Structure 1
Amino acid sequence: MTPPENSPDRPHPRVPVHPYIPNAVPAVRQAMLDAVGAAGVEDFYADIPEGIRLRRPLDLPAPLRSEARLVRHMEQLLSRNTPATRTLSFLGGGCYPHHVPAVVDEVTGRSEFLTAYAGEPYEDHGRFQAMWEYQSLMAELLDVDVVNVPVYDGFQAAGTALRMAGRVTGLRRLLICGDVDPDKLSKIRDYVRPDHEVVLVPADPATGGTDADAVRSALAGGDVAAVYAEAPNRLGLVDPALPGLGRLAHGSGALYVVGCNPVSLGVLAPPSSYGADLTCGDIQPLGIRMSYGGGTAGFIGANDDPRLVAEYPTRLFGLVPTDVEGEYGFGDVAYDRTSFARREEGKEWVGTAAALHGIGAGVYLSLMGPQGMREIGETVLAHTAYAKQRLARVPGVAVPHAEAVHFADFPVRFTGARSTADIHADLRERGIFGGIETAVDQALYCVTEVHSKADIDELAAALEEIVK
């Protein structure tokens, strides 16, 4: 029934009202604003920096009032994209092109996994067990005892791990060491404020690795909650300083937090083996497709230290015996840690998790096994080394820190007159996606097990024609 003309629930004819969201009705919206004491919706966005505000209407079409028209519109938009799988792509930098076995999609596409929401108390057909299996496999890969149900992405996992360290130590400063992705750094800063101060310790320009003396100097005040470093770092460099950073952190009373690429752990030592108290990262390389930028889900690993386990804000699943001999169940461990139980008093808010990606990663790890992970790691290392050597022979191309070990990602510098953007535009015309532009004359390239020697040679040959 349409409200009377003078009813406060009747929207003004010139005010757009969303057809599916009742709270968009102006009177209801105003009542909600009044209830929370906000002058307007803008109050909720006050923390968003002005520099990234849109400040213009979204470029949206007129309402599409039929499913057929909506499907047609979306197909037209999607057709404008060129997937990395249909070209020769050397993009990486956090979202990696790895082979995804067909069985991973088969399992994650099953209705009991695909449609269940976070494994709530309704019938979930083994979702809790699947997550427990994923956690167990990840714990073996990371050489730790405890792994969380995945959070949204590796950026959040890093922020959460650092907040955990802050709660354990009761200290304020966080040292971020070496070369870290600027977007990740931005997320960490935003996630840990206002409780913690982020202090950057830049990489040593001579080596590309962490400057241990600078870290030692930054630790002198004794008020550092955690030292954070990455293995490999943003530029793919495997930093030999990592074990020493753990000793420095522990010597000053700080925890050591290491972000890592999990697919590298078939050939590289897990961070826990050289002193990491918390290991974090993104499981995207473990059987999750690139999917318009990922396919992301964050993990945090730790040993069975009650101090650390108590500070996990995320769900943890464990195996428990039942009343029937020989049978076991799977459920939450220390549920009262989470915001589900503590609500507004929770240490961090925990909402929808990326649990489905965790199940996919669990399937991937169970398929690959230790030998498969080793073979992938060795292949990526070999391809990375060959790509560095081959591109360094191209006139006008240099590979910084070429003597260091890189895994998947590696930097490239163009020494000629042409910019990275122009070079990459020419590569696209040849059906090749170059790396991620990091400066006017630099880019971050990536190779994995899906690339071949011929692929790398094709890239080098194209650059020999383009770079001047």
Structure 2
Amino acid sequence: MGRHYIPNSAHKEEMLKEIGFSAIEDLFSDVPKGMVKEFDLPEGKSEYEVFTEMNEILGKNKTVLEMPSFLGAGTYFHYVPAHVKYIIERSEFLTAYTPYQPEISQGMLQALFEYQSMMAELYGLPIVNSSMYDWGTAIAEAALMTVRLHRGKRKRFLILKALSPEKKAVIRTYTRGADLEIVEVPWDEKGQLDLEKLKEEVKDSAGVYVEMSNFFGLLEENVREIGEIAHEAGAYFVVGADPTMLGVFEAPGELGADIAVGEASYLGSPMNFGGPRAGVFAVKNDRSLIRQMPGRIIGMSKDADGKRAFVMTLQTREQHIRRAKATSNICSNEALVAVAAAIHLATLGPKGLAELGEIILKNTAYLKKRLSEVGEVPFEGIYFKDVPVRFEIPYDIIHERLLERGIHGGYYLGKHFPELGETALFAATETTRKEWVDRLVEALGEIISEAEL
């Protein structure tokens, strides 16, 4: 007896007749010729054969202990305490998806409420949603939100030129349908956001975005002044901040931010080849801002018996309300990553978070000092995690020869920032060892000497 693993496949002819087609191929008639191709797939393998092959492939990977890596540029190797993974793998967290009947998921709602509460304290703004996709989409949502707050009368949003190329791509793609004009404000000779250029561009802008340390890792010295310029022009001020720096630096809310964004996955999650992530999104306690926030907000209330209960206070996503009224169409759930961040943050506490930031600052300073011996750091200032270094020889040669020596170098900036020349971005975190940096600098010295011969 034949078995049909695809539902209703036995009724294929009947269904085609019902919709007015004679063959499956007719369904693809509007696809350009040559675009529909048959997949030349190999014969299937047994589970054990797949297991063996996958382990052979995985065996080629090298850990950071075997190959020290200085690649950062937005994705960093942080230490994640073992208990974080254990707790989020509990079934009540691991299987919890978008809560369509949220009040029955009291445990998950409480965990997200704790996440919001901790991020609110960390970012210095009282209202935080229960996460976005990532930092890039959080910026894009902030841009759209500032336009809505101006009722569409202002459709320009300013970002710093010294911003991650990936974030720029996300922002431009995400806001294209809303016809937003995204304007890049250049850096000055110090690598800081050019305040004079900002004053020229800010007129009629819906919002201004700045990061507390820019893509080059350079700490922005004029965040408060940038906010004042934005507010004087009637624009909303959006500040991005890495949560691991907020134990040692002022919070965005204290610097005048109306909206703050960041990346929660730097706490509690491994690199995972760049994802999944969870974007932080926080606003001032202003009703107009709160009503225009994307995503969900979890609140604390009381049930019919007067007991504490957690509820979904605000849910302006298109899944929950009429689509025309939605503030965002973000549908997937980054709640597990947000819960991991909350667990890690609770583990660290204020003192631990401050110590984490101090260690990263010290390691970054040591990396900068040593790299200055073999290359040029283009801007002076305080660096956090990333440090740009300019070389006299093509960086692709340097990178290839570093790999031969068992070291993964930095992120090449020349493709996206050609004005910086043969410059690469090297990163340090709390996991970076002194001997790794010394080994890197020794290798760079040898490579440069060999190239000059």
TM-score by length of 2: 0.87
After superposition, the C-alpha distances for 1:330-374 in whole angstroms (9 at most, x for unaligned) are 110133x23122243223213121100000000011000111111
Task: Tell me whether 1:244 sits opposite 2:225 in the alignment.
Answer: yes
The answer for the alignment partner of 2:124 in structure 1 is: 143
After superposition, the C-alpha distances for 1:392-411 in whole angstroms (9 at most, x for unaligned) are 112xx11111x211100110
The CA distance in 2 between the partners of 1:209 and 1:257, in whole Å, is 17
Paired residues in the alignment total 432
Aligned-residue sequence identity (percent) comes to 33
The answer for the alignment partner of 2:138 in structure 1 is: 157
Counterpart mapping for 1:57-456 below 5 A: 61-62=41-42, 64=44, 66-84=46-64, 86-121=66-101, 124=105, 126-170=107-151, 171-220=154-203, 223-325=204-306, 327-335=307-315, 337-345=316-324, 346-394=326-374, 397-401=375-379, 403-415=380-392, 417=393, 419-439=394-414, 441-456=422-437
The CA distance in 2 between the partners of 1:136 and 1:183, in whole Å, is 29
The CA distance in 2 between the partners of 1:251 and 1:349, in whole Å, is 32
More displaced 10-residue stretch of structure 1: 266-275 or 83-92: 83-92
- Secondary structure of the 2:425 match is strand
The answer for the alignment partner of 2:417 in structure 1 is: none
After superposition, the C-alpha distances for 1:106-144 in whole angstroms (9 at most, x for unaligned) are 111111111121344385461111111111111111111
What is the CA-CA distance between 1:60 and the residue it aligns to?
Answer: 7.7
Task: Tell me whether 1:462 sits opposite 2:443 in the alignment.
Answer: yes
CA distance 1:163–1:85, change in 2 (3 Å): farther
The CA distance in 2 between the partners of 1:33 and 1:146, in whole Å, is 53
What is the CA-CA distance between 1:466 and the residue it aligns to?
Answer: 1.3
Where structure 2 has 5 or more consecutive residues not aligned to the other structure, the ranges are 415-420
CA distance 1:96–1:260, change in 2 (3 Å): same
Amino acid at match of 2:447: I
The answer for the alignment partner of 1:16 in structure 2 is: none
Task: Check whether the contact 2:162–2:215 (CA below 8 A) recurs between aligned residues.
Answer: yes
Task: Check whether the contact 1:314–1:350 (CA below 8 A) recurs between aligned residues.
Answer: yes
The CA distance in 2 between the partners of 1:434 and 1:229, in whole Å, is 27
- Secondary structure of the 2:413 match is strand
CA distance 1:283–1:334, change in 2 (3 Å): closer
After superposition, the C-alpha distances for 1:238-285 in whole angstroms (9 at most, x for unaligned) are 111221111111111110111111111111111111111111121121
Please tell me the root mean square deviation across aligned C-alpha atoms, in Å. 3.0
CA distance 1:206–1:381, change in 2 (3 Å): same
Amino acid at match of 1:421: D
TM-score by length of 1: 0.85
CA distance 1:99–1:21, change in 2 (3 Å): farther
Task: Check whether the contact 1:96–1:284 (CA below 8 A) recurs between aligned residues.
Answer: no
Task: Check whether the contact 1:435–1:446 (CA below 8 A) recurs between aligned residues.
Answer: yes
Amino acid at match of 2:378: P
